[in-house]
Chains A and B, each alone.
Chain A
Amino acid sequence: MDTIASAKGGTAGVAYSGQPEDGGFVGGARGESLTDGGFAGGARGGRLENGESAKAARRERLAKYWDSLKFALYCATHPLDGFWDLTHEKRGTMAAANTILFLTLLVRVLKLRYTSFVILTVYWEGLNIFLYIASVLFPLILWVVGNWGLTTLFDGKGRLNQVYMATCYALTPYPLIQFPLMILSNGFTVEEAEFYAVLSAISLIWAGLLIVAAMGQIHEYSAGKNILFTVASLFAMLVMIFILMIFFSMISQGVGYFISLARELLFRL
């Protein structure tokens, strides 16, 4: 089963297919199992000699991808129903999830440049675009791993890739609202910047609520349990950060010890 490694594929259409050994299945042989496989952009169905059926399969996959992407809108407006169907009815695809994440990151980066300076000014000298992107990706990965790690111990039905997929789907409001807002911001004056702040906050709160709702649905949790594990997941994130920091400082200390040891040796020799 594929993991969130597929997230690293990043762009739409190149997400890694679940079972590469399974060659012939692509093209609907396994029908709905495509959902967890993800959309393979290039034709991986090499064994299909027949060009016509390969083309048909590709079209079908494209339709499935498009359909799953559109389903994100349904999820955003009908979170409970939508996120249930996302995994249980296999309406979502990994490719669509990756696309939404990519769009989120893209809009977030574009915002820096194309939002009106009245609302957002950027100190370009102090900006590292990779760190900026990581500021979304890193908490996302921590959340997915932390949430899965906890819920899997407490009856959660969602698997790691499903947690990832649902979280990405829940990000939909961000690009949906922020992109038009970014363009509109260039017509705002200082006084009208309030609208921007409100709409921007709405997009974040909406996405946040969607994440919570999504987790409840894919893990099949009751509302109370869901909120409890949302909070617990946040703590899990903190614990992971703590452990990572300890890990890195220990490593650097350890490396430093051997470096100084070697240096001392070189001096003596």
Chain B
Amino acid sequence: MSMRFWKKTGAFLFLAGILFGIPAAAQAEDISYTYNYDYWGDVQDCPDLYTVSKVFTSADLGLETRMNNPQGLYVSGDLIYVCDTGNNRILEIRRHSAENLEIVRIIDSFTGDVENTSFLAPTDVAVSEAGNFFIADKGNARILKLDPDLHYLMQFDKPVDNTLDPAIAFQPDKIAVDSAERVYCVATGINKGLVKYENDGVFSGFVGATKVTFDFMDYLWKRFATQAQRAQMESFVPTEYDNLYMDYEGFIYACTGAVTADDLRAGNADAVRKLNLMGNDILVRNGEWGIYGDLYMGSGGGYEGPSYFSDVTCMENDIFVCLDRNRGRLFGYDDQGRMVFAFGGNGNMDGYFRRPVGIEHMGHELYVLDALDCSVTSFVPTLFGELVYTAVEEFDKGDYEASREAWEQVMVMDGNYDLAYIGIGRALLRQEKYREAMDYFEVKYDAENYSKAYKQYRKEWVEEHIGWIIAAVLILFLVPFVFKRVRKIREELRTDDFFIYEYGKESRDGK
């Protein structure tokens, strides 16, 4: 009876309960906007970590032409960039507050010594530390580099690589720029990973290709299939990334929606990865459940299948937020891969989406771009959310006492919030209060951390009681030994000739 068996059984029973036990209508009314998954994968209602500050439509921003199918969102300082793909322009918006966004300029052309100085369906924009613009000009098959005054500097063209079909047009879709102005690009139709360019515009290779997965039965089928049959079959190719994000440390978060539920559950595919410079996935997955959004993928409200991560952003406290295009939800995970929050949904109300395509953060605030609704939604953290962030950030800073206090306040507001218990436990562990830490970990079944605490506790206990332990062992071995010895000596004494002569005789006489 492994732990996994019980979890699976638990999940199954829970599903069965949902399917047969509780009427769906009653369920829908009771569920909260924000939720989380507990150890068993059961949905636990949760106080909101975020609340909608305002939904900005074209009218709210004072645009004369309505936004049309905007695809890209980027934040730099207090500026927000929206790629208004359908109108071939980029909007530069200044954030005065979460409720007050103002259009600074509308970028629809640039200057410079190049044939075409306008965009065609730009899908993404990025700004380097030096202030240069990088624009994925998808319709024109190029990535543009412009200086802060919108003067053309250079462009990045289709990579020169033997494996790429020369007939297929280059379609740069999403881009990210690192501190040295190297460009990483997700291009439609290229499944070898991210296209990487050096800062001089030279294509330097592909990074972070997803590993190819196939199951053995498929392989066997292919072995015996004819050429024609094989052509009909799905080929084993790496999945394309959908979006990427360069975090404050220079690691790239890349997400993809082209994954199946089975692969996600089995751990054969990743919906989101954190790539280092070598292109290796370094995302920590210590949570009880995988980092793929919703655990229950059955159809409901017209939506089914796994969460489709269309964008990801990572805050400075290492909490990264994934945007699910399928059910219009936001999923936050901490640096250990544990779910911090999940909220949202599809719909027309504030805080619900129709086709969310981009997410960015500014401090703790979140901005979500909806392509169909043509709007930007700003989310601000609630008191509860700020407390969670305080606790996480204090822990990272090393102030474990402050972290614990914040977690305790979180626990007061939501006793079902697993991270609070584990957070307190981790703080106590760092403060070397092992016995107390063990209790917190046990409550939330955190076996890994419990073991860490227990190991230390056990060591301490043994060190403290080493005298007693040695004494106990000695007694255990010595007592029978001494006993035996004494008996032997007495026996010898009794049977010794001398004593027999002296005492034995006497005693015999005495009797």
Contact = CB atoms under 8 A, between A and B. Distances in A.
Interface of A: 117-123, 125-126, 187, 189-191, 197
Contacts of A121: 3, 6-7, 39, 445
B9 to A, nearest CB: 6
B448 interface: yes
Contact of B6 (A118, A122, A187): A122
A123 B2 CA distance: 12
B131 interface: no
Given A117-B442, A117-B447, A191-B451, 7 more contacts: A118-B447, A120-B1, A121-B6, A121-B7, A121-B445, A189-B454, A190-B447
A64 B30 CA distance: 63
Contacts of A191: 451
B169 interface: no
Contacts of B454: 189
Nearest to B41: A123
Contacts of B451: 118, 189-191
A191 B451 CA distance: 8
Contacts of A126: 9-10, 13-14
Interface string B269-292: 000000000000000000000000
A118 B10 contact: no
A190 B2 CA distance: 12
A122 B454 CA distance: 21
B13 A118 contact: no
A191 B452 CA distance: 10
9 contacts: A121-B6, A121-B39, A123-B9, A123-B40, A125-B13, A126-B13, A187-B458, A189-B454, A190-B451
Which 7 A-B pairs have CB atoms at the shortest separation, nearest pair first?
A: A123-B10, A189-B451, A126-B13, A190-B451, A118-B447, A190-B447, A121-B445
Interface in B438-497: 442, 445, 447-448, 450-452, 454-455, 458
Contacts of B7: 121, 123
Contacts of B39: 121
Interface in B177-232: none
Contacts of B6: 120-123
A119 B9 contact: no
Nearest to A191: B451
A123 B3 CA distance: 10
A189 B6 CA distance: 19
Q: At the interface, is chain B mostly helix, strand, loop or mixed? A: helix
B455 A189 contact: yes
Interface in B416-455: 442, 445, 447-448, 450-452, 454-455
Given A123-B40, A189-B455, A118 B9 contact: no
B10 A117 contact: no
Contacts of B445: 117, 121
A191 B454 CA distance: 12
Q: Which of B451, B455, B458 has the most CB of A within 10 A?
A: B451
A125 B448 CA distance: 24
A82 to B, nearest CB: 29
Nearest to A123: B10
A126 to B, nearest CB: 4
B44 to A, nearest CB: 13
Q: Which of B6, B14, B40 has the most CB of A within 10 A?
A: B6
A86 to B, nearest CB: 30
A120 B9 contact: no
Contacts of A122: 6
Given A117-B442, A117-B445, A189-B455, A123 B13 contact: yes
Interface in B1-59: 1-3, 6-7, 9-10, 13-14, 39-40
A107 B82 CA distance: 64
Q: Which of A120, A126, A197 has the most CB of B within 10 A?
A: A126
Contact of A120 (B3, B13, B450): B3
Nearest to B441: A117
Contacts of B448: 190
Contacts of B13: 123, 125-126
Contacts of B3: 119-121
Nearest to A122: B6
A189 B442 CA distance: 12
Contacts of A118: 447, 450-451
A32 B442 CA distance: 53
A117 B1 CA distance: 12
A120 B2 CA distance: 6
Nearest to A126: B13
B491 to A, nearest CB: 33
Contacts of A125: 10, 13
Nearest to B454: A189
Contacts of A117: 442, 445, 447, 450
A192 B455 CA distance: 11
A118 B455 CA distance: 13
Interface in B127-144: none
Contacts of B442: 117
